[in-house]
Structure 1
Amino acid sequence: MDRVIVVGCPGSGRASFTRALARIMEVAVLTTDEAPEGEGRWVVDGLRGDGLDPGLAACDAVVVLDPPAVVCLSRALVRPLLRNAGGDGALEAVGQVWVFHWRERRRLMAHIETRAPHAVIARLRSRAAAGRWLARLAGVPLP
């Protein structure tokens, strides 16, 4: 696996997962604005799906971080408070989680399946599943 796109809503653990994956693959994390269209090794942190088409055409795998909405909501509510961003940041994040889980998720999955039929798609529904996926990729034996 050389070219991976990671997608998920706020609070899904996408940024942490993408950084860990990039360390395992020994590559830099790119944004959708930087997503390469061709060969090479890369990991793209793609918030939801905006601007992913060039990367989807070239990727080997797409990881969809999709924990339950309540998990994402709790993380999205706590993060702005920990960063001293206040209530406005929390309300914005809650809105993004709501829109993703109840409007965008099905559309995003269909978009990925249409634009990247060649790619392995891993839909990870929990932090534990994400950890196991990373461990397998890193060659760490699991109990």
Structure 2
Amino acid sequence: MQRVLVLGSSGAGKSTFARRLGAITGLPVVHIDQLFWLPGWVQAEKEIYRPRLAQAAAEPRWIIDGNYLSTIDERLPRADHVILLDRTRFACLARVARRIARSYGQVRPDMAEGCPEQIDWAFLKYIWDFPNTQWPQIIAAIGRHKAWDRTTTLKSDRAAEAFLRNVSVTRMRS
């Protein structure tokens, strides 16, 4: 496991999972949000974020967290392991509510500079619609790249914890 792609809805825990997996494995973590957003929540032009992402994905070792389906076909073939955080809408919304309560107005470590935590109806709708809009596209991309044999689906925090424990134990034994 040298190049890991972590996918899932907003609020599924992608960044937290990626950081924890990075701490266990020593793999560098790339948060796509840091490449995609400019200060003030301005979306970077393709000419800016695509080369940054291509450079990150060209590295021999990484964990990249984030969906950004417009670039999934560039990242997925390079990944030797894909983690799908398949959480329910309610779990994702609850996690986002906790995150907002904890860090509203602050810039999270996995976010681009100048992009403080905020919430609006469009973001909540994105999370609610994710299983019907984004998830099928992620599943199709995994199929297109014949990546199911290197994909792990984690449906709960407990499953994610078990996966991380297993990776940790495996690394200690090697």
The normalised TM-score by structure 1 is 0.83
Identity, % of aligned pairs? 27
Any gaps of 5 or more consecutive residues in structure 2? Answer: 33-51, 106-117
Tell me by how many angstroms 1:37 deviates. Answer: 4.3
Partner of 1:34: 53
1:2 is aligned to 2
Stretches of structure 1 lacking an aligned partner (at least 5 in a row): none
Shift of residue 38, structure 1, vs aligned partner: 4.1
Deviation at 1:102, TM superposition (A): 2.3
**In the alignment, is residue 120 of structure 1 matched against residue 140 of structure 2?**
no
Residues 135 and 48 of structure 1, relative CA distance in 2, 3 Å threshold: farther
Match of 1:101 in 2: 131
Higher relative contact order by CA 8 Å / sep ≥ 6: 1 or 2? Answer: 2
Aligned to 1:110: 140
Aligned partner of 1:134 in structure 2 is 164
Partners of 2:89 and 2:104 in 1: how far apart? 23
1:16 is matched with: 16
Contact persistence 1:77–1:90 (CA under 8 A)? no
* 1:71 is the counterpart of 2:101: no
- Partner-residue secondary structure (3-state), 1:89: coil
More helix by share: 2
Distance 1:26 1:43, change over 3 A: same
| TM-score under structure 2 length normalisation | 0.70
The alpha carbon displacement at 1:40 in A equals: 1.4
Is the 2:72–2:141 contact (alpha carbons within 8 Å) kept by the matching residues of 1? no
**Residues 8 and 48, structure 1, Cα contact 8 Å, conserved in 2:** no
